[in-house]
């Protein structure tokens, strides 16, 4: 049960505070996190689809 609830809570917190997280990273490191996250998600999806294909 906890293995389902804990990831849900973590994802919910990330979604709720995305703007604050994004602003913090942009101020500290001067990079936009949206582009990085989008690229990582696309790469993960491509890997999953590739593994499912073979």
pLDDT in tens, 6-49: 889 988 998 899 889 889 888 988 888 888 888 899 999 999 99
How much is the pLDDT for 37? Answer: 84
How much is the pLDDT for 13? Answer: 92
Higher model confidence: residue 15 or residue 1? 15
Helices assigned H by DSSP within 17-32: 18-29
Give the predicted TM-score (pTM) of the model.
0.56
> Shortest CA distance to 35 belongs to which of 22, 50, 48?
22
Task: State the Cα torsion 41-45-46-49 to the nearest 10°.
Answer: 180
């Amino acid at each position: 049960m906890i293995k389902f609830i804990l990831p849900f809570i973590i994802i919910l917190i990330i979604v709720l505070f995305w703007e604050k997280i994004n602003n913090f990273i942009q101020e500290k490191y001067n990079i936009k996190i949206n582009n990085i996250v989008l690229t990582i998600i696309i790469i993960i999806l491509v890997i999953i689809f590739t593994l499912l294909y073979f």
